[in-house]
Structure 1
Amino acid sequence: MTALTRRKLALSALATLFLTAACGNGVGNNNAQKIDGRVDATLGFLFQQFPESRTVAAKSVATLVMPVITEAGLGLGGSYGRGALRIDGVTVDYYSAASANVGLQIGAQQYAHVLFFMTEEALERFRRQDGWAAGAGIEYAFAHEGANVNVDTNAGLSPIVAYVFAQAGARIGATLEGVKYTRIIP
């Protein structure tokens, strides 16, 4: 095996940045109207494809919608996307979601995710921290047998419920572990 040199590391990082930028997820797009339009479309798709998500949404105190997350990796990997936090259906803040990782990986994918904050405490913790990172305390809604998404009937007891959906690309799986959310001004 060859040692990882600075040149290889730099080339890998540049390739990852190129792949991420090439996927067109709105990086560099500072238009709040476009983000809001994508958020509306994403929620419409979620509610149409997974009708039980409406019940979770009705019980939630706020919703963070990330319409397009682009994830790419070639040795070094990363992801990025932009979205909006809505309370009572009204956008109150805009956020970016980013992550980075190192490991044996190659490929790219895009996906959407929606975080439903089920308690005021979870929402306040999220809004209070600059650079909140997803981790424990999130209950995931996973697709089973095609289009069915199952959420535990006790979803109201989890502080945050996450839907990860609309995956497309040449990477397998998507997780929110280690994704860092940062408030932005579009």
Structure 2
Amino acid sequence: MRLLRKLCLMLVVFSLSSSLLAASAQEINAKVNQALKEFYQHSPAGKELTRKAAGVLVFPEVIKAGIGIGGEYGEGALRLNGKTVSYYNVASASIGFQLGAQLKSEIILFMSADALRKFRNSDGWEAGVDGSVALATLGAGGEIDSNTIQQPIIGFIFSNKGLMYNLSIEGSKISRIQR
């Protein structure tokens, strides 16, 4: 049974990532630009926070799917002062009651130079283990909770339709990739 679960997990992750693995640096950057544009349209406060961040990590397309055993995968870019400096992927696996698929975007803001340094110097960074990510929720008019904006790492999750979800990125592993 355990071997069967591992095989299913490998198939799910492989099927999710196969189309994304071929993304070039230009494709990733174009999708990052589009995700940021959509994010700014839905949250003026998020746009202001992005300007203040030491670093901005954007995963424009994270695909999550599962039938009992699930996985998610996406590729994105780390930007400093508005310029891409490196590329990363995010991946996670889960077991439990789940059925379906979802496409979402994730933006992680490193609000302090220290938090950004720890992330960049890691060899595979895991949300919730190597750094706690305060997931932002938006109020009326796109305002962000004042307690959240004081955290060293702030995360946003949204769909391509602009609806914000209060999901978790805890347990997701983020690793540098070459593009």
Q: Name the TM-score class by shorter chain.
A: 0.7 to 0.9
Alignment partner, residue 38 of structure 1? 31
Task: Tell me how far apart the structure 2 counterparts of residues 57 and 154 of structure 1 sit (CA, whole Å).
Answer: 16
* TM-score under structure 2 length normalisation: 0.85
1:139 aligns with 2:122: no
1:76 aligns with 2:69: yes
Task: Tell me how far apart the structure 2 counterparts of residues 10 and 179 of structure 1 sit (CA, whole Å).
Answer: 18
Structure 1 residues 167 and 31: alpha-carbon distance in aligned structure 2, compared to 1, 3 A threshold: closer
Displacement of 1:153 in angstroms is: 2.5
Alignment partner, residue 183 of structure 1? 176
Q: RMSD value over aligned CA atoms?
A: 2.4
Structure 1 residues 6 and 61: alpha-carbon distance in aligned structure 2, compared to 1, 3 A threshold: closer
Q: 2:8 aligns with which of 12, 17, 33?
A: 12
Q: 2:82 aligns with which of 89, 104, 115?
A: 89
Give the greater-gyration-radius structure (CA): 1
Displacement of 1:78 in angstroms is: 0.7
Structure 1 residues 157 and 32: alpha-carbon distance in aligned structure 2, compared to 1, 3 A threshold: same
Displacement of 1:81 in angstroms is: 0.3
Displacement of 1:11 in angstroms is: 6.3
The one-letter code matched in structure 1 to 2:12 is T
Does structure 2 retain, via aligned residues, the 8 Å contact 1:109–1:167? no
* TM-score under structure 1 length normalisation: 0.82
Displacement of 1:141 in angstroms is: 1.5
Does structure 2 retain, via aligned residues, the 8 Å contact 1:82–1:96? yes
Displacement of 1:59 in angstroms is: 1.5
Structure 1 residues 157 and 6: alpha-carbon distance in aligned structure 2, compared to 1, 3 A threshold: closer
Unaligned runs of 5+ in 2: none
Task: Tell me how far apart the structure 1 counterparts of residues 142 and 13 of structure 2 sit (CA, whole Å).
Answer: 32
Question: As a proportion of its length, which structure holds more strand?
Answer: 1
Structure 1 residues 125 and 6: alpha-carbon distance in aligned structure 2, compared to 1, 3 A threshold: closer
Cα deviation code 1:8-48 (max 9, x no counterpart): x3663366247625xx8x52214100000000001011001
Structure 1 residues 98 and 176: alpha-carbon distance in aligned structure 2, compared to 1, 3 A threshold: same
Task: Tell me how far apart the structure 2 counterparts of residues 18 and 31 of structure 1 sit (CA, whole Å).
Answer: 18
Does structure 1 retain, via aligned residues, the 8 Å contact 2:137–2:145? no
Structure 1 residues 167 and 73: alpha-carbon distance in aligned structure 2, compared to 1, 3 A threshold: farther
Task: Tell me how far apart the structure 2 counterparts of residues 5 and 121 of structure 1 sit (CA, whole Å).
Answer: 40
Structure 1 residues 18 and 122: alpha-carbon distance in aligned structure 2, compared to 1, 3 A threshold: closer
